Structure 1
């Protein structure tokens, strides 16, 4: 059954607002005052995955804005614009719409892929990057080609290339989302709870979200057969000149921990990589205190 997009306006210490940016309207949850930190969620979630880190960073003196990516949650769901170029432009435009000239970009999963791309594609608004559960895009692509176990773990992306089927599965029940949350998180952990499954399952049942979420990954698949994919990979190989923090769960079932080696070669300067034990893909919820401490410590050290 379809879910009203307003359900993402979950009560808390944050404020909900909608900003016009890059020709679309984006839902933002905002908290705190100080230098801007823009948070980008991954699949199959929405802004709410950052709730623990939002309060920690706000208490540490930062203005935190967790946005719903294009096609997710309360943000617009246009028929086009799900390539990484547009995603980085969305983020840059949201930063400016919030009245800031630049920000630290923190992303998880798909949001991490976008965050890694920001210093190269939108350097004018990016002063630092933290990526959770996602290595540099070129490292991820290489692992998906050469690492047999990673190819198997990435099989869900191949399955998303089929039209209509994934959307129907996400729209009919919570089973699709529940499977990803369980398979990608650390075995034996407390995440996901039944409430987590209901929350993120409902998020995928908002009209057009399932299709839009799949389109982000369909671009990744289709672009490999067109000029824009190789061109993106050539552009993204350029040196990153801003500080970068990489956090990864030792038990990540989506992006395997042995697939992340190599990101440092793209960041010759300030680069820190931390592997978090007994945590999987959903670091913000599987190890919220550890992630919050790492982010605050990294931000304060710059």
Structure 2
């Protein structure tokens, strides 16, 4: 059932370098009713709508540096909590987290905000959600930017079969996430410590570069965290910012977030009508050069001329890992705003 919209103006603004720039009001938190329940978002600025979609394990907070920058550049920036995260709805059913459900959440947010379409900018899982929104709901997605994870069209092999082959003698992390309750038991025993290790393991300045062990593969009987680096937090993440992230997941748990991974085969079935289909909207790709996703999905990047025929540019930022918009916010903000300036956007 759809929830009524509520709004609030919290006393605190997003942390770490996100003081609103001249000409832009501070961020505003809202709850927007959608057919699947409610979506929490943080809004700043006015102008063409730019929808920011986070990945795992993050929340709207991962876009804290982009909200004021986009607002100051003349855009209405919206950072959502994806279904299962933060203050957004958290259905119990695993299948409620299939891709088509998440696409419809975001399409409903665009319309609830009084707009016909928006720019979609996604990171990690958010990039995949943004790309599929462009594919499935081109009426609401005018242009799309993908951060960290390149677009890879639905193919002929069931994902669970692919994951089994990738793992070999160990479990690929997506397999490790499949059994409800298993990964939750590991993570929720020490939410703050697990997040710190996972963020550090994928950050350019703290990741293990020896190549001996990958945190994406779990030996049988072990924990994913056993291969996390032990040491300081990444330079982009303060203790206070980690507290914000950990506080959200301490409150919500990880089940909703992990259910996204548990829908890979359902998504493959649901997206059969779009098998091999390109995303034809104007697009942009941006990632850290040290992001493992770029190496794994090198074939997807090479296929961009076919899969993203209207790609403006593909940027790899040297010395940057997976958390690109947080590790290198100034460069990301400059690339995004320069790209957006050259587009004829709805509401401009």
TM-score, with length taken from structure 1: 0.86
Asked whether the equivalents of residues 45 and 203 of structure 1 are also in contact (C-alpha less than 8 Å), the reply is no
Unaligned 5+ segments in structure 1 are 1-8
Distance 1:206 1:85, change over 3 A: same
Q: How many residues align?
A: 286
Q: Report the structure number with the largest CA radius of gyration.
A: 2
Alpha-carbon contact 1:70-1:87 (below 8 Å) kept: yes
Deviates more, 1:256-265 or 1:288-297: 256-265
C-alpha distance in 1 between matches for 2:314 and 2:29: 32
Residue 286 of structure 1 corresponds to 327
What is the rounded CA distance, in whole Å, between the counterparts of 1:291 and 1:241 in structure 2?
Answer: 23
From 112, 117, 135, the counterpart of 2:132: 117
Structure number with the bigger relative contact order (C-alpha 8 A, sep ≥ 6) is 1
Q: Which structure dedicates a bigger proportion of its chain to helix?
A: 1
Query: What residue number does 2:70 align with?
Result: 57
Instruction: Indicate yes or no: 2:113 matched with 1:98.
Output: yes
1:299 partnered with 2:340:
yes
Rounded Cα–Cα distance in structure 2 between residues aligned with 1:299 and 1:151: 43
Moved more, 162-171 or 100-109: 162-171
Matched, 1:215 2:256: no
Offset of residue 258 of structure 1: 5.8
SS in structure 2 at match of 1:73:
coil
Residue 254 (structure 1) shift: 4.8
**1:74 corresponds to:** 87
Shift of 1:162: 2.3
Q: CA deviation at 1:29?
A: 0.3
Verify: 1:256 aligned to 2:300, yes or no. Answer: no
Compared CA separation, residues 301 and 44, structure 1 to 2 (3 A)? same
Shift of 1:19: 0.6
1:159 lines up with 2:176 in the alignment: yes
What CA distance in whole angstroms lies between the structure 2 residues aligned with 1:281 and 1:236? 27
Q: After superposing the two structures, state which structure 1 stretch, 9-18 or 159-168, moved more.
A: 9-18
Single out whichever of 179-188 and 115-124 deviates more from structure 2. 179-188
Residue 256 of structure 1 aligns to a residue in which SS? helix
Does residue 200 (structure 1) correspond to residue 281 (structure 2)? The answer is no
User: Please, what is the CA RMSD of the aligned residues?
Assistant: 2.7
In structure 2, the residue matched to 1:177 is: 195
